Structures are given as structure tokens and as C-alpha cells.
Amino acid sequence: MKPTELSIGNLVMYNGKVVKVEQITKHKIGYHTKPNETRMNYARLCEIEPIPITEELLTKIGFILPEHKEFYIMCCINGKDNSIRLTKYFNLWNAEIFASHPEVVMLECTILGLRFVHELQNAYYLITGKELEIKI
């Protein structure tokens, strides 16, 4: 992975475990192994992998999978002001993100071609200005 693909707070895989990116350098990421840990651990960028967006993962996060599966539409409401609707075409996910802003009644943005959790997290933050809290 490249450092430009990542943001603080993104979830990635390292040594078969999900880790949250706490620091990003040119060649490494920093992460904690336990909550409230002060010592930073590091992994080389070449050692981390993105987490693919899967139906199983999305249901764990809180997305609702409809019974019909001609094409996949999943919906997750994160709080009262923001929501995400995901649609799957082939192996790519398209995200429609709806966000409430003080200056605008409702802002809608479509992000095409997502494959990984960190891409979904980055898109959500870009539109809403808030982190997409994911517990895996």
C-alpha cells in the first residue's frame, strides 16, 4: 500500500489481525495493539494489506442486506444526520453518502468503485467530516 491511500483511523490487516492506523510515515504505519496503549508499534507498508469489503463484514458493521440479490443494496444509518447506501456491481461497491450540513439541508455524494474498508472510511470522512466508526 502507499501512504497516500491511508488516513489516520483507517483499518488494515497486519499479520492476520485488524489494526487501526494511528500514524503514517513514508514507509511505515504506527498502530496500538491494545486500547489506551502508549507504546506505538510499527509495520512496514509492504507488510499491511487492505481489508476487502464483503457482505459478511458489512452485516457485522450494521448494514442491512436485502433478501433479493439481483444486485446488492445495503443501507446503514450512522447517527441521525448521515447515512450510507452501498450498491455492488461485479466486484466493486458504489457508495452514496448523505450528510446533513448547517449551510445545506442535505448533501449527497456518490463514490464509485470502492473495494476496501479504508476507501469507504476515507469517502465517508471526505463527505461528512466525521470518522466512520467500524468495529471488526
Closest CA to 121 of 88, 102, 92, 95: 95
Span 51-84, pLDDT tens digits: 999 888 888 877 777 776 555 555 555 556 678 8
pLDDT of residue 100: 73
Across 110-130, average pLDDT: 88
pLDDT of residue 40: 94
Q: Are 40 and 30 in contact (CB under 8 A)?
A: yes
pLDDT of residue 11: 95
pLDDT of residue 128: 81
Q: Are 14 and 31 in contact (CB under 8 A)?
A: yes
Span 84-115, pLDDT tens digits: 888 888 788 888 888 776 665 667 788 888 99
| Beta-bridge partners for 25 | none
**Other CB atoms within 10 A of residue 11 CB:** 20
Determine the Cα–Cα distance for residues 59 and 136; give it in Å rounded to an integer. 11
pLDDT of residue 57: 86
Across 35-51, average pLDDT: 92
Distances from the Cα of 70 to the Cα of 51, 87, 93, 122, angstroms: 25, 11, 14, 28
